[in-house]
Amino acid sequence: GAGVSQSPSNKVTEKGKDVELRCDPISGHTALYWYRQSLGQGLEFLIYFQGNSAPDKSGLPSDRFSAERTGGSVSTLTIQRTQQEDSAVYLCASSLWGLNEKLFFGSGTQLSVL
């Protein structure tokens, strides 16, 4: 595809359920980031993948959050036992090498936990 693709674009779930968010980065991009944007807030770093290196998970807010990246391409962000405070837009971004270069953002997944 031409850009970073995220799915679903919107997800409504009940408190306590698990959700999976998907990110398809631009083909060939080795770096992939997940950020969370709460209403009217900034971009909160969650996790970063670079090639085959161990991911930087330092931004994950709790052990209910996990992410994986299969084959160096598609990434899924999983939130277990969702809470209302998890409601936010989850943005994925990718770049070619991850160093000193432009990030290409997806359009995000709007997660609403009822």
Partner 1 sequence: GENVEQHPSTLSVQEGDSAVIKCTYSDSASNYFPWYKQELGKRPQLIIDIRSNVGEKKDQRIAVTLNKTAKHFSLHITETQPEDSAVYFCAAQRDNDMRFGAGTRLTVKP
Shortest CA distance to 78 belongs to which of 68, 88, 66?
Answer: 66
Closest CB 114 distance from partner 1, rounded Å: 22
Name every residue whose Cβ is closer than 8 Å to that of residue 52 and which is 6 or more positions away in sequence: 72
* Pick 14 or 102: Cβ nearer partner 1: 102
Burial (CB count within 10 angstroms: exposed 0-12, middle 13-18, buried 19+), residue 100: exposed
Closest CB 18 distance from partner 1, rounded Å: 26
* Pick 91 or 113: Cβ nearer partner 1: 91
For binding to partner 1 (CB under 8 A), which residues are involved? 31, 33, 35, 40-45, 48, 50, 56, 58, 91, 98-103, 105-108
Distances (CA, A) of 53 to 18, 47, 57: 27, 13, 12
Closest CB 67 distance from partner 1, rounded Å: 15
* Pick 20 or 44: Cβ nearer partner 1: 44
